[in-house]
Amino acid sequence: MEYRRLGASGLMVPALSFGAGTFGGQGPLFGAWGSSDAREARRLVDICIDAGITMFDTADVYSGGASEEVLGQAVKGRRDRVLISTKTSLPTGDGPGDAGSSRSRLIAACDAALRRLDTDHIDLFQLHAFDAGTPVEEVLSTLDDLVRAGKVRYLGISNFSGWQAMKSLALAEKHGRARYVAHQVYYSLVGRDYEWELMPLGLDQGLGALVWSPLGWGRLTGKIRRGRPLPAGSRLHETADYGPPVEDELLHQVVDVLDEIAEETGRAVPQIALNWLLQRPTVSSVIIGARTEEQLRQNLGAVGWSLTPEQTARLDAASSRTAPYPYFPYQRQEGFARLNPPVLARG
């Protein structure tokens, strides 16, 4: 397993990390993802640790906290060998204090996560969404207090826009607060919006990307093909509306090239899609999920090799889409492009 620094921090994280959204399995969304109990989860954690995957990601909203509980049981007795990442801010109930990033909510959410995980600290504590109703200064001071208290080691965000992330980073620097070092983002061959604004921001500000849903919400498993119905066992039957939208033609274009490269390399389609992400700027770790040992072991095959530049270029071309304004002039027009290195203009 390759290890990388998490953004502009000293924390080393594995190139692949494990998403524990399949642990617990409660509710219409997370029940469709998976329902691993503590015994099954411990077996998956065993395989991960043996392969060098040492970071495990969860959230308080996953199965109403059951994911955190199961993960805590699965790593019991080897807590010092793993990194735990969890998230808060999304609604966990109907009460006025059950959502957002207010001081009271963050303190309560952190303490509750520590109890469910049965640990004395969280290695990476992330805001699952931006809370427009709470002053950023209040959020940052509270998170800084949690770091100083030893409850949290590092801070991150998830699903922030560029201005939301930049305002937070600027105020943290101004007031000497603990700084975000990670941004958990949606990024895949069928969802490259991350590249237009958030990737250049990550490069400039030292925000390491933790990639969620790297297989396009289950669309890049190799089971979905042009002109065929969704496979009977696909979770998309129940969860498509929860995830990022993907145009059918884009999906088929990408899968056609993935199939070609699979023939050339002898690698599975998901392995190729994950390997492409591992070569992208700012990516610190790609979060993989698995309901079974077979799925997990297949995903582990994404590391230890690299696509050729020619294969990468074909995937780039198949998955490319015109940038939204104000980015498309920097992509299309020479005068704009000369002012920005390509990696800053578009990943």
CA distances 73 to 66, 152, 155, Å, are 11, 19, 23
DSSP 36: B
How many helices (H) and strands (E) the chain has is answered by 15, 10
Q: Are 217 and 187 within 8 A, CB to CB?
A: no
CA-to-CA distance for 18 and 31, rounded, in angstroms?
18
Q: Which residue out of 62, 180, 187, 327 is catalytically annotated?
A: 62
- 188 half-sphere exposure, CB direction, 13 A CA radius: 27
CA-to-CA distance for 346 and 336, rounded, in angstroms?
12
Q: Which of 345, 341, 319, 177 is nearest to 250 (CA)?
A: 319
Assess whether 325 carries a catalytic annotation: no
In which residue are the tokens 């992208």 written?
A: 280
Residues 6+ apart with CB under 8 A from 76: 118
- 148 half-sphere exposure, CB direction, 13 A CA radius: 9
CA distances 110 to 19, 59, 132, 167, Å, are 19, 11, 20, 23
Residues 6+ apart with CB under 8 A from 315: 189, 254, 257, 258, 261, 272, 276, 307
Angle value at C-alpha 243, between 241 and 249, nearest 5 degrees: 85
Residues designated catalytic: 62
